[in-house]
Amino acid sequence: MNIVALIQDCLAQITVPSTQPSPIASHSKRKLVLAYSGGVDSEVLAYGLGQFARINNHIECLLVHVHHGLSANADSWSEHCLSQAAKYGIECKVKRVKVNQAPRLSVEAEARNVRYQALLEELNFNDVLITAHHQDDQLETVLLALKRGLGPKGLAAMGKVQGFKQRYWVARPLLEQSKEQVEAFAAKHNIVHIEDESNFDDKYDRNFLRLAIIPKLKQRWSAIATTASRSAELCALQQSVLDEEIATKLPLVKQKIANESVLKLDALANYSSAWQSLLLRGFMDEHGFAPPSKVQGEQILAQLLHAKDDAKVEIRLADVVIRRFKQNGYFTKPDLAEHNAKQITPVELVSIDELTSGKLLLPTGEYLSAQLVPLKGLELTTIELNSAGEKEQQLNSRGQSTAICRLPLESESISIVYALPGSTRCQPHFRSKGRELKKLWQELELPPWKRGRVPLLCYNGKLVAAIGYWVEKAFLAKRAAADMDKQQDCDLIATNYGLRIFIN
């Protein structure tokens, strides 16, 4: 077993856009981060990564050991990993985490969540997370997928190389190696490793399979791990074709409203029930939500597509809250959904520099970005639509307003608020007449639960812009440019620049 060759094979499978050179080929500092427990599997891989690092000094290698604090031996395991890493010539970081332990919570799942969060903190865009999963781990994953009633995507189990959270890569160099091969390699090279006593506790599903089920399966069918891996590969192949087809259809059933992607229910309803299920799962996967079970998926589609128009649809799963409004499906993280109901504290800014210095973190957890836009030579005409078209806006690729507002004068204070009376009179840049704020939200079909989350830019307490939706006509940069000659007390920058502001 040549571990260096196995690592190199994984890296060779990592694809990058044709317009960008491969970070490996161009000798840039792509980082390989090994999830390093100190058990026999990760110890063997750490040993091999040490050899790889010595002949590939253009690639940064890092071992990360996560200290869960669940065992009395956790401190000694950390010391072992630091000591071994020094022998391999690779930097090792020990990251201490706290595992949430409460009734009805899976310690196994909670430990996995905080472990991956700790690992992600060490990854930059396009870096590679390396894990020591082998062929028997793949068999466990397939059996667990069967137990959970998952479809082809779940049965595809783990890939040797996969995209990870749309920002990173995960590589599993040992995935085609048996447990026996890994253990034989460790014995041959006298690789010292730790034994986690929790691995022998069969109350955990994986341990139950590993200790009680898989040995019996192997006794009856010695090649079961190999054939299960082959089945997983075939499922993955089938799923990859299906994913390509889903990717072509998804843009037809979703749209951007302000800075949020929503599911277009009237478009989804035109597909067969099978495709409705696949597109729902594809949409949820694209936004990082766990796939629903078969029953959950059927209930979600029934309520989104077939509930009465005036029904208040709100479906809560473990990691998502799903709502319906005006033929659109909204998918929100539970903590964000809870935040929606709370009153948000206004943000008082000292100067325009705070807006334009970069991304400003808002109380909602969103980031506000603002750009100074030179007015000279810029077309600033205002769109005024007739009554049949007043719902339309001039939007950019993010689905946000592209209108430019004037900068504040020296005498004007800047604030961002989240609540103004519904009776507040507004005149968006795209309307020929003013209207009450409450009526505008209805006109723009903004869901009620989101109206208190829209950041409102104010100068001296007067509404300047509903960020992501409109700029008040009285504060458009065009008007500022026309009137500035009469303002003797304003900054020169305010006469030459406008402000484009949006939410990320």
Per the domain annotation, does 449 fall within a domain?
yes
pLDDT score recorded for residue 135: 94
Coil, helix or strand at residue 11: helix
Tokens (6 digits) for 134: 């082998």
| Domain-terminating residue out of 183, 210, 245 | 245
Per the domain annotation, does 169 fall within a domain?
yes
Which residue would you say has higher pLDDT here, 498 or 300? 300
pLDDT score recorded for residue 346: 81
Per the domain annotation, does 250 fall within a domain?
no
Per the domain annotation, does 251 fall within a domain?
no
Give 488's pLDDT tier (boundaries 50, 70, 90): very low
335 with 351, same domain?
A: no
303 with 352, same domain?
A: no
The domain of 73 spans: 3-245
Residue 486 has pLDDT above 60, yes or no: no
Residue 310 has pLDDT above 50, yes or no: yes
Q: Which CATH number do you get for residue 275?
A: 1.20.59.20
Dihedrals φ, ψ of 82, to 5°?
A: -65, -40
Q: Convert 296-313 to b/e letters by CB count within 10 Å (16 or more is b).
A: ebeebbebbbeeeeeeee
The helix, strand and coil proportions of the chain, stated in percent and rounded to the nearest 5, come to 40, 20, 40
264 with 240, same domain?
A: no
pTM: 0.67
Per the domain annotation, does 390 fall within a domain?
yes
Among left, alpha and beta (phi > 0; psi -120 to 50; other), residue 250 is alpha
pLDDT score recorded for residue 344: 77
Residue 7 has pLDDT above 70, yes or no: yes
39 with 23, same domain?
A: yes
Q: Summarize pLDDT for 111-134 with one digit per residue, the tens.
A: 888 898 899 899 988 899 999 999
| Domain-terminating residue out of 276, 310, 339 | 339
pLDDT score recorded for residue 16: 56
Q: Cβ contacts of residue 105 below 8 Å, gap of 6+?
A: none
Distances (CA, A) of 233 to 134, 142, 149, 173, 201: 14, 11, 18, 15, 30
442 with 359, same domain?
A: yes
Give 492's pLDDT tier (boundaries 50, 70, 90): very low
Please tell me what DSSP assigns to residue 474: G
Q: Is 132 exposed, middle or buried (0-12, 13-18, 19+ CB in 10 A)?
A: buried
pLDDT score recorded for residue 182: 94
318 with 369, same domain?
A: no
Q: Cβ contacts of residue 411 below 8 Å, gap of 6+?
A: 460, 489
Nearest to 474, CA basis, from 417, 405, 420: 405
pLDDT score recorded for residue 22: 45
Which residue would you say has higher pLDDT here, 107 or 217? 217
Residue 227 has pLDDT above 50, yes or no: yes
Residue 28 has pLDDT above 70, yes or no: no
200 with 320, same domain?
A: no
Q: Mean pLDDT across the stretch 100-116?
A: 82
Residue 351 has pLDDT above 70, yes or no: yes
Residue 484 has pLDDT above 60, yes or no: no
Give 343's pLDDT tier (boundaries 50, 70, 90): low
Residue 335 has pLDDT above 90, yes or no: no
Distance of CA 214 to the CA centre of its chain: 34
Per the domain annotation, does 252 fall within a domain?
no
Q: What angle do CA 16, 17, 22 make, to 5 degrees?
A: 40
| Domain-terminating residue out of 245, 265, 287 | 245
- Determine how β-strand 31-35 pairs with β-strand 60-67: parallel
151 with 289, same domain?
A: no
Mean pLDDT, rounded, of the chain: 83
Per the domain annotation, does 444 fall within a domain?
yes
478 with 354, same domain?
A: yes
Q: Residues of the chain with pLDDT > 70: what percent?
A: 86
Q: Summarize pLDDT for 124-165 with one digit per residue, the tens.
A: 888 999 999 999 999 999 999 998 888 888 888 898 998 877
Nearest to 303, CA basis, from 317, 323, 281, 319: 323
DSSP class per residue in 359-426: PEEPTTS-EEEEEEEE-TT---PPP---GGGTT---B-TTS-B---EEPPPTT--EEEES---TT-EE
DSSP class per residue in 258-293: TTEEEEEHHHHTTS-HHHHHHHHHHHHHHTTPPPPP
| Element of type H or E holding 154 | helix 152-155
Q: Summarize pLDDT for 438-458 with one digit per residue, the tens.
A: 999 888 888 888 888 889 999
Q: Which CATH number do you get for residue 111?
A: 3.40.50.620
Nearest to 77, CA basis, from 166, 176, 194: 194
299 with 169, same domain?
A: no
Total domains, the chain? 3
pLDDT score recorded for residue 27: 39
282 with 409, same domain?
A: no
- Determine how β-strand 31-35 pairs with β-strand 128-130: parallel
Which residue would you say has higher pLDDT here, 132 or 352? 132
Distance of CA 480 to the CA centre of its chain: 39
pLDDT score recorded for residue 401: 56
Q: Summarize pLDDT for 248-307 with one digit per residue, the tens.
A: 999 999 998 766 889 999 999 999 999 999 999 999 988 888 888 888 999 999 999 998
51 with 136, same domain?
A: yes
Contact call for residues 458 and 426 (beta carbons, < 8 A): no
pLDDT score recorded for residue 342: 57
Rounded Cα distance, 215 and 126, in Å: 38
* Torsion (CA) 159, 217, 191, 56 in degrees, nearest 10: -20
Range ranked top by mean pLDDT from 39-48, 388-397, 404-413: 39-48
Q: Mean pLDDT across the stretch 455-471?
A: 91
Dihedrals φ, ψ of 305, to 5°?
A: -100, -25
